[in-house]
Amino acid sequence: MEQEKTSYFSNDMAEKLPELIGQFNQTRQLRRIRKGLHVLIVEDQVFSRRLLQEFFWRICTVDAAATANEAMPMYLGNAPNIAFLDIDLPDESGHQLARLIKQIDPEAFVVMVTANHTAEDVEKARSNHIDGYIVKPFSKLKIMTCLDKYKSLHGANMPARGKL
Amino acid sequence: MSAPVNLTNLREITGGDRDIEQELFAMFITTAEDCLQQLAASYAPEHAETWRKHAHAFKGISYNLGAEPLGDLCKDAQNKPDDAVADKKTLLSAIQNEFGRVQNFLREVGAAAS
């Protein structure tokens, strides 16, 4: 029998929120005890997802998901230091996912990734208190700019630029 | 005519690893072929959203590969989901031609690396 998939974005999300916050509070301390960074990539296109993974595998640990609902258990279970979220996801928008993550984890460092650079997307990102915004194509400079911002805020144990 | 692909960004991200590069090229071609099929099946006005969605996906992977001219054509397609069927066919034909150039370029890069 096929297992029913959990939806984190149903109409009763407000009721579920305390439970999700409680779940996350049990894992958030991972950020303080782990060495280096842990990154979550949420991108439905396998090529673009793999490209980002290739970059991060060389410097830290990585979780990768293709949908918002696939990403949530990874976020709750592993408390990533940084989440890179594509805006156009097949189940929910990246903005919805970012909003939920920020509700659960106000200290979350979230970077939106998109091939569209519309005023509407920028406004939504701003209203969700997003920490970074990358317009495709990915480049080392764009990614490093986000990592540098994270480092300046949190002082994470990160490799020097010269090692990449 | 300019080169169909600029691999500078991709190689910076992959650290210049040629095996990974070949895996990424194969992933790009598989996804691109799927996008082309989906676009060819969604000329009709009632499939405008499908057309827009697949043009958007194709645009994203093209730009990430460094195939800017192909990405620009896909962007054009994404912005014209409600165009006449004949116009969409013309645009898809241009996308297919440019994709052919990209495939040839990737094959040449692969052959040079092996």
Q: Which DSSP string corresponds to B2-54?
A: --S---HHHHHHHTT-HHHHHHHHHHHHHHHHHHHHHHHT--SGGGHHHHHHH
- Give the gap in angstroms from C-alpha B100 to the nearest C-alpha of chain A: 18
Task: Check if A126 contacts B (Cβ < 8 Å).
Answer: no
Q: Which residues contact A91 (CB under 8 A, 6 or more apart)?
A: A9, A67, A68, A69
Task: Check if B11 contacts A (Cβ < 8 Å).
Answer: no
Mean pLDDT over residues B35-41, rounded? Answer: 97
Q: What is the mean pLDDT of chain B?
A: 95
pTM (2 d.p.): 0.91
Contact A85, A108 (CB under 8 A): no
Please give the DSSP secondary-structure letter assigned to residue A141.
Answer: H
Of B9, B10, B56, Cβ closest to residue A115: B56
Residue-wise pLDDT tens digits, A38-84? 999 999 999 999 999 999 999 999 999 999 999 999 999 999 999 99
Task: Check if A161 contacts B (Cβ < 8 Å).
Answer: no
Nearest chain B alpha carbon to A140:
B13
Q: CA-CA distance, A139 to A124, in Å (whole number)?
A: 23
Task: Check if B41 contacts A (Cβ < 8 Å).
Answer: no
Q: CA-CA distance, B70 to A135, in Å (whole number)?
A: 17
Burial A53-78 (b: 16+ CB within 10 A, else e): bbbbeebbebbbbbbbbbbbebbbeb
pLDDT band at A155 (very low <50, low <70, confident <90, very high): confident
Does the pLDDT of residue A162 top 50, yes or no? no
Of B15, B27, B53, Cβ closest to residue A47: B27
Residue-wise pLDDT tens digits, A78-121? 999 999 999 999 999 999 999 999 999 999 999 999 988 888 99
Number of A/B CB contacts below 8 angstroms equals 64
Residue-wise pLDDT tens digits, A121-135? 989 988 999 999 999
Does the pLDDT of residue A159 top 90, yes or no? no
Residue-wise pLDDT tens digits, B70-109? 999 999 999 999 999 999 999 999 999 999 999 999 999 9
Q: CA-CA distance, B114 to B112, in Å (whole number)?
A: 6
Q: Which of A30-34, A76-80, B6-10, B109-113 has the lowest mean pLDDT?
A: B109-113
Task: Check if B103 contacts A (Cβ < 8 Å).
Answer: no
Q: CA-CA distance, A124 to A161, in Å (whole number)?
A: 31
Question: CA-based Rg of chain A, rounded to a whole angstrom?
Answer: 15
Pick the residue of B7, B8, B12 with the most A CBs within 10 A to test the interface with A by mutation. B12
Nearest chain A alpha carbon to B72:
A115
Does the pLDDT of residue A3 top 60, yes or no? no
Task: Check if B6 contacts A (Cβ < 8 Å).
Answer: no
pLDDT band at A2 (very low <50, low <70, confident <90, very high): low
* Amino acid B6: pLDDT: 97
For B47, other C-beta atoms within 10 Å of its C-beta total 16
* Amino acid A161: pLDDT: 47
Please indicate whether, in this complex, the C-beta atoms of B13 and A139 are within 8 angstroms of each other: yes
Does the pLDDT of residue A164 top 70, yes or no? no
- Give the gap in angstroms from C-alpha A24 to the nearest C-alpha of chain B: 31
Does the pLDDT of residue B61 top 60, yes or no? yes
- Taking the CA atoms of A7, A101, A155 and A127 in sequence, report the sign of the dihedral they define: positive
Please indicate whether, in this complex, the C-beta atoms of A137 and B56 are within 8 angstroms of each other: no
Mean pLDDT over residues B17-42, rounded? Answer: 96
Query: In this predicted complex, what is the ipTM?
Result: 0.91
Q: Which residues contact B40 (CB under 8 A, 6 or more apart)?
A: B92
Classify A129 as helix, strand or coil: coil
